[in-house]
Chains A and B, each alone.
Chain A
Amino acid sequence: MKVKLAFLDVLNAVEIFGAQKFEFEMKGKTVKDLLNEIIEGYGHKAKELFFKSGRYDSTFQIIINGRKYVLPEEMERFTLAEGDTVIFSPLVNGG
């Protein structure tokens, strides 16, 4: 299914993906599937967005359809639908 991805406030998004926002054809269903497929498709630089020092970076946030923040523990069970928008963005807040 096709989902719309947006890597916002990610300084090297264009370098890694060719664009900040693009459509992505995914085979799986869950957010976890999506992450795995992005890493598989775009290599180690994409992986470095999600993993720091070998651990998943929970401050690199995932927002579905501009409303639902998917927590790390929800990734395996949260399923996506055709046309969903998935924003990936680093956590910074305030001020």
Chain B
Amino acid sequence: MAIYRDKILRIDLTTKRVVVEELPKEVKYKFVGGRGFGAWFLYKELSPKIEPFAPDNKLLFLPGVLAGTVAPGFSRWIVVTKSPLTGCYARSVGGGKFGAAIKLVGYDFIVIEGRSERPSYVYIDKEGIKIFEAEDLWGLDTQETQKKLWERHGRKTHIACIGPAGEKLVRFAAIIHERRAAARCGVGAVMGAKNLKAIAINTEGCSPPPLHDREGFLKLVKEHNHVLKTHPRRQRLTQLGTTFMTMRMHELGIFPVKNFQEGTIPGVEQISAEAFLKLKVKDYGCYACTTRCGNVFEVKEGPYKGAVSEGPEYETIFAFGGEVCNTEIGSLVAADALCDRMGLDTISTGVTIGFLMELFEKGIVSKDEIDGLEPKWGDHVVMMTLIEKIGKRIGIGKLLGEGVKRAAEAIGRGAERYAMHAKGLELPGYEPRAAKAHGLSYATSNIGGSHMYGYARQEISGATEPREVDRLADEGKGDIAGWNQIKKAREETGVLCNFADSNITPKFISDLYVAATGIPEFGDLDYLDKVGERIVCLERCFNVREGFNRKDDVLPERFLKEPLRNAGPSTGEMIRKMDTLLDEYYEYMGYDKNGVPKREKLKELGLDDMVEDIPGE
């Protein structure tokens, strides 16, 4: 069958056993690729209640079904595992070329299991797979690591690695490839727990996967790229990425400030797109992508002169800007670069620092307890110090590296009230009280507080599919949250990039899939919708098996009890009807009142044979 390699690469680091298994045909039909394969495999293979840092956790690296082709925006990669931060399903997405590399070298996905006795790295090329010792790499940051591996194996080697944060099991450590990150859910820490420093894939001499209808596929891509040339959204993303979002989100009251206390930061124009324009030095694109949204910024003056980073994007501008009330633009670039080198999730890192700042503000912690630091709002110097401490897990970094949920539990004294997370995953840069379907998705997402799991474009940017939505309405959001989650899962069978999807419709994706695979079922949009729904449902079942249900689909009390302050048109808003929103969502998704998929839904989605071990109606 075209496009698929029909190979799953399984590497056991304990025994050093490498096995290539066949990808079953029915799995392609039911799950298509990318995130779909991850849901299928992890549910099937991972026993419930295992410890995320234990050798029996599995770490999957999954490209999308079109990875390695010239389809722009379809070569990202997904990491799937059990999260050490949340204890539930982990899905984390990275950009660059690594997704294409997995497919080019000949696999549909890679499974890492066991634990290496000594630090090691995996090297893959068209000749085979080797496991090398990595004592000389252990302790290096992610950029130093990649540089060494390029010197050793050549520049056609694409590397996914961890930095000190992953080695030290910071629970929100990221996996870094080039300067891109599979950041969320602590996937880097799972890699560190396996003593795995890097996976290096050399694509020298490798060929792209075969296409079923090459001419048809290339025609679709050519027409699409032609439209993208003059597409205004594409042009903006190429120009300055999502720095273009900050001022609008701030004006609407959606940009969280001071640990989600309020919605206005004085001097916000200092971290606007106009301000970043002065720092831009070049752009960068992922494999085959014509949007090239990667923006490299260099700080030319001030206390962070010389700092260079590919980024920050909007989320990092929130994490080290709004969240900590900081408008020193150079520090945003420096913080972004430091997190990349350390291998840290910028969102979780920023929100953890904001959490500490609020505890300090409220007198819950004193400077004697936090290495003599005084983390006040806007203090970017302390912010940079804390990032370093977290990445190296020294001093107060030891506790902060556990994430806000665990840190709050350890501190006590009411600290839990200030821990902004859902299921343990620190919340991203959209205020839930100002975009309530988006907030509902934070609560119900099967990976915890993720903006991408069910991004509510209807509320954030006025999209009208499936219908127009008033972001401040208190109810009538359940179907929107569910629809967005299913749509995203459907798109992540190809790991379609959110930034590269200008002019991309469900029909276009479907046409590409049919041309690539020759599977006529993929030409049916309802069929692909069902695939998306199947993926979300199976991820839900994974969590139910781990003991998650309605009691875990919650948001911090702040959003339910405190009116949003100082947030323009969103001032005074709260999540007033959380129970109603949850009931709406469960009904739309076919779950019972406890948030557990009903048997009839499992049967409808063809999951009833696979999922026999969860309670429910």
Which residues of A come within 8 Å of B, CB atoms? Answer: 6, 8-9, 11, 20, 52-53, 57, 59-61, 63, 65-69, 71, 85, 87, 89-95
Contacts and interface: CB of A to CB of B under 8 A. Distances in A.
Interface in B219-275: 230-233, 236-237, 241-242, 244-248, 251-253, 269, 272-274
Contacts of A85: 569
A94 B497 CA distance: 10
Given A11-B277, A95-B498, A66 B460 contact: no
A93 B470 contact: no
Contacts of A95: 241-242, 313-315, 452, 498-499
Interface of B: 230-233, 236-237, 241-242, 244-248, 251-253, 269, 272-274, 277, 313-315, 451-452, 455, 457, 460-462, 464, 468, 470-472, 498-499, 568-570
A92 B247 contact: no
List the 8 shortest-distance A-B pairs measured between CB atoms, nearest first: A66-B569, A69-B462, A94-B498, A8-B247, A92-B244, A89-B248, A93-B461, A9-B244
A69 B462 CA distance: 6
A94 B313 CA distance: 9
B571 to A, nearest CB: 10
A89 B472 contact: no
Contacts of A89: 247-248
A86 B451 CA distance: 27
Contacts of B455: 93-94
A71 B314 CA distance: 25
Given A8-B251, A61-B462, A90 B232 contact: yes
Q: Is the interface of B mostly helix, strand, loop or mixed?
A: helix
Contact of B236 (A6, A71, A87, A90): A90
B492 to A, nearest CB: 13
Nearest to B571: A66
Given A9-B273, A71-B464, A94-B452, A66 B252 contact: yes
B457 A93 contact: yes
B461 A91 contact: yes
Contacts of A9: 244-248, 272-273
B274 A11 contact: yes
B230 to A, nearest CB: 6
Given A8-B251, A9-B248, 8 more contacts: A9-B245, A52-B232, A61-B462, A66-B569, A90-B244, A91-B461, A92-B242, A94-B452
Contacts, number: 91
A28 B273 CA distance: 32
Contacts of B246: 9
B536 to A, nearest CB: 19
B232 A59 contact: yes
B251 A65 contact: no
Contacts of A67: 470-472, 569
Contacts of B470: 67-68
Contacts of A11: 273-274, 277
Nearest to B239: A11
Contacts of B452: 94-95
A80 to B, nearest CB: 15
Contact of B568 (A53, A66, A71): A66
B314 A57 contact: no
B569 A59 contact: no
B279 to A, nearest CB: 14
A50 to B, nearest CB: 11
Contacts of A69: 461-462, 468
Contacts of A63: 248, 252, 462
A35 to B, nearest CB: 16
B233 A91 contact: yes
B232 A60 contact: yes
Given A69-B462, A94-B242, A94-B498, A8 B230 contact: no
B155 to A, nearest CB: 28
B251 A6 contact: yes
Contacts of B568: 66
A53 B244 contact: no
Contacts of B237: 92
A92 B451 CA distance: 15
Nearest to B472: A67
Among A11, A66, A95: residue with most chain B CB under 10 A: A95
